[in-house]
Structure 1
């Protein structure tokens, strides 16, 4: 079994828990509180800013222009395309997207971002890709599951969100397949102990995907600290 498939198999229990989270179920049912939607968008905007920076770090650790092109394309995608599902949530919540773009990092966002930054600072290319893969993997799995369940109907206010991520999986040049290929290629350079560390990094990101939904649903902020807004 390829190493990328070993990672996906190990992450299945967490993926199942994500399916069952009330925020995710709310997307499928077309019903979520405004507060949860706005909290999510503010935090995901923050998270995707970090995602862009980590993709840039992956470019620095790439040895070929072909690899660089993969990450450059994803930076462009986040900057210019992944705003559409954010707009869907904002439209349903009745708020302007621009008003949510400077929210302080919530604890879960901070932890997730630092996890990715650590992979970029101290790891190799395989560490970065393993830490970043759970985000697109779980989102595409969620969306495709909803499509199979017939949840992307015209009366579901979150149909644009579902369709956006479901359509991504049909791309012949799928980012997920490219990431799997990178992981499998790089995995050949390491022994089992090193790959076990990579697997742990992957699984931590999977768990933080669950936590990201959970903090938005509960609007979990800092208890004692009043963090500053983010201006970038």
Structure 2
């Protein structure tokens, strides 16, 4: 008798995962994860004013990050997603913003200064892009647009830990506490949970949707690169009238 064959070929697997999307955007992703701002931060050679400029604008980013999670609450399809969005919103407003303000004071930046800050163009570009992605799309669009921030910072911290040039001693690197914050088990767990959520939702989509989300992720990553560049060099002043 001829050998029996399986009439049902094995499932090819999801057309998209976070790993596939980031691999398809490997050039942008590497430019973001390994940006000069990140390298200098790890080596402890980043100019202090560049870091202060980043810290100031990152406070404004947190404000819009909270708005994005408020939008996630609105976009939720069920009580589980609603609770997830609400928990993230409360964490940012009730905990993270306070910690950021406290950290800024150690760098000579007051809460009053943060409250009066004008937004840099790079800050406006990324935060509004995220909010627009969530408004015109669904909850998955919003999460994909936010992924370079949450998952990206976790990967940056891991990458820095593996680099021979990284100085982890706080006595020799004023940015060691920043690295430790994002390398912490708590933050790494949050990034892992976000990656798992994304992969669960990405398993439900088809090829056309995968292409759309890949481009969304690529653009968001490019805007994160601009945010690093803004911190490193500031905004170029135009002399045009």
What TM-score results when the alignment is normalised by the length of structure 2?
A: 0.80
Aligned residue number for residue 160 of structure 1? 177
Q: Tell me by how many angstroms 1:3 deviates.
A: 1.7
- In structure 1, C-alpha distance between the alignment counterparts of 2:59 and 2:159, rounded to whole Å: 24
Q: Tell me by how many angstroms 1:6 deviates.
A: 1.0
Question: Unpaired segments of 5 or more residues in structure 2?
Answer: 1-13
Aligned residue number for residue 95 of structure 1? 109
- In structure 2, C-alpha distance between the alignment counterparts of 1:95 and 1:170, rounded to whole Å: 24
Contact 2:50–2:233 (Cα < 8 Å) also in 1: yes
Contact 2:59–2:100 (Cα < 8 Å) also in 1: no
Contact 1:106–1:222 (Cα < 8 Å) also in 2: no
Question: Unpaired segments of 5 or more residues in structure 1?
Answer: 226-232
Aligned residue number for residue 67 of structure 1? 81
Contact 1:88–1:161 (Cα < 8 Å) also in 2: no
Q: Tell me by how many angstroms 1:86 deviates.
A: 6.1
Larger CA Rg, structure 1 vs 2: 2
Aligned residue number for residue 151 of structure 1? 167
Residue 224 to residue 104, structure 1, CA distance change in 2 (3 Å): farther
Q: Secondary structure at the match of 1:178?
A: helix
Residue 212 to residue 19, structure 1, CA distance change in 2 (3 Å): same
- In structure 2, C-alpha distance between the alignment counterparts of 1:216 and 1:170, rounded to whole Å: 22
Alignment size in residue pairs: 222
1:101-144 superposed Cα distances (whole Å, 9 cap, x missing partner): 33112111111112111112110111001000110122111112
What TM-score results when the alignment is normalised by the length of structure 1?
A: 0.83
Q: Tell me by how many angstroms 1:211 deviates.
A: 0.8
Residue 170 to residue 60, structure 1, CA distance change in 2 (3 Å): closer
